[in-house]
Amino acid sequence: MDIVPDPIEAYAAAHTTPPTELLAALAEETRATMSAPQMLTGTVEGRFLELLVFGTGARRVLEIGTFTGYSALSMAAALPEGGRIDTCDIEAKHVEVAQRYIDRSPYADRITIHLGPALETIAKLEGTFDLVFIDADKPNYANYYEAVLPRLSARGLIAIDNTLWSGRVLDPQDEHSQAIAALNDAIAVDERVVAVQLTVRDGVTLVRRR
Ligand SMILES: C[S@@+](CC[C@H](N)C(=O)[O-])C[C@H]1O[C@@H](n2cnc3c(N)ncnc32)[C@H](O)[C@@H]1O
């Protein structure tokens, strides 16, 4: 099931500031060389994340799931002076592409990629986060949520990607769908937080602590 019908998605993309040449090249290489290029956030969600960083003034960003670097580079574009992004991924071949494009961007000094399981990286990182973007392996979503919730800064936000999972959360049959649906249900009644489920792309949930 498409969350947003294709013509509306195309209209939204056409009425969103186009990607930079570098991001367009990154998206093209990802489509040509990666087995699951649809994992890349793309124009609408990339700009959404960029504006989220800009609007909140986030200085310290944690990304769980780098892939080829599209969302990290999108968010880096809006960081204030001194801001930085820690991003993690478990696949060396994803990190290689991401690092190559990060090195070609003006933001190489703002983005650090950590190769390894995200939960280990989160445990090693110090301090609090102004924005956490959760976009990695779905069975671990609840673990990521619990690991980062206590680490949010006073006005910090978590953005969780794919929370509608092509509509499969309505009747979750497989492990990934069930993991996402269970987290959605838990967040909806979690008295520690205020949350909104957005229908951007494949579903994005924004969460803040009370
Ligand atoms: C949906 S993609 C991320 C997309 C990326 N945010 C973008 O916009 O292009 C998910 C990524 O999570 C990574 N991943 C899977 N399991 C992981 C784990 N345990 N720790 C860290 N990264 C993991 C995958 O290798 C994959 O690159």
Largest CA distance in the chain: 45
Question: Predicted confidence band at 159 (pLDDT cuts at 50, 70, 90)?
Answer: very high
Collect all residues with Cβ–Cβ distance below 8 Å to 6 and sequence separation of at least 6: none
Atom of ligand 1 nearest to the CA of 45: 8
What does the DSSP 8-state code read for residue 3?
Answer: S
What separation in Å is there between the alpha carbon of 93 and the centre of ligand 1? 11
- What's the count of helices (H) and strands (E) in the chain, helices before strands? 8, 7
Is it the case that residue 125 has pLDDT exceeding 90?
yes
Is it the case that residue 25 has pLDDT exceeding 90?
yes
* Whether the Cβ atoms of residue 198 and residue 204 lie closer than 8 Å to each other: yes
For ligand 1, atom 26, name the residue with the nearest CA: 67
Q: Give the whole-angstrom CA distance, residue 210 versus residue 203.
A: 22
What separation in Å is there between the alpha carbon of 87 and the centre of ligand 1? 10
What separation in Å is there between the alpha carbon of 99 and the centre of ligand 1? 14
* Whether the Cβ atoms of residue 118 and residue 32 lie closer than 8 Å to each other: no
For ligand 1, atom 27, name the residue with the nearest CA: 67
Containing 55, the helix (H) or strand (E) segment is: helix 42-56
Report pLDDT digits (tens) over 168-192: 999 999 999 999 999 999 999 999 9
For ligand 1, atom 11, name the residue with the nearest CA: 65
The distance from CA 149 to its chain's CA centroid, rounded to whole angstroms, is: 15
Atom of ligand 1 nearest to the CA of 88: 21
* Whether the Cβ atoms of residue 186 and residue 205 lie closer than 8 Å to each other: no
Is it the case that residue 2 has pLDDT exceeding 90?
no
* Whether the Cβ atoms of residue 2 and residue 166 lie closer than 8 Å to each other: yes
Collect all residues with Cβ–Cβ distance below 8 Å to 48 and sequence separation of at least 6: 200, 204
CB atoms within 10 A of CB 100: 14
pLDDT at 115: 98
Ligand 1: residue of 45, 49, 67, 99 to mutate (most ligand atoms within 8 A of CB) is 67
Question: Predicted confidence band at 47 (pLDDT cuts at 50, 70, 90)?
Answer: very high
The finding on whether 137 has its CB within 6 A of some atom of ligand 1 is yes
Question: Predicted confidence band at 63 (pLDDT cuts at 50, 70, 90)?
Answer: very high
Q: Give the whole-angstrom CA distance, residue 203 versus residue 83.
A: 27
| Token code pair at residue 149 | 């919730």
What separation in Å is there between the alpha carbon of 198 and the centre of ligand 1? 21
Report pLDDT digits (tens) over 96-119: 999 999 999 999 999 999 999 999
pLDDT at 71: 98
The finding on whether 136 has its CB within 6 A of some atom of ligand 1 is yes
Tokens 């801001």 locate to 83
pLDDT at 193: 98
Q: Give the whole-angstrom CA distance, residue 56 versus residue 34.
A: 32
Find the Cα–Cα–Cα–Cα dihedral 175, 152, 161, 176, rounded to 10°. 0
The finding on whether 118 has its CB within 6 A of some atom of ligand 1 is yes
For ligand 1, atom 7, name the residue with the nearest CA: 40
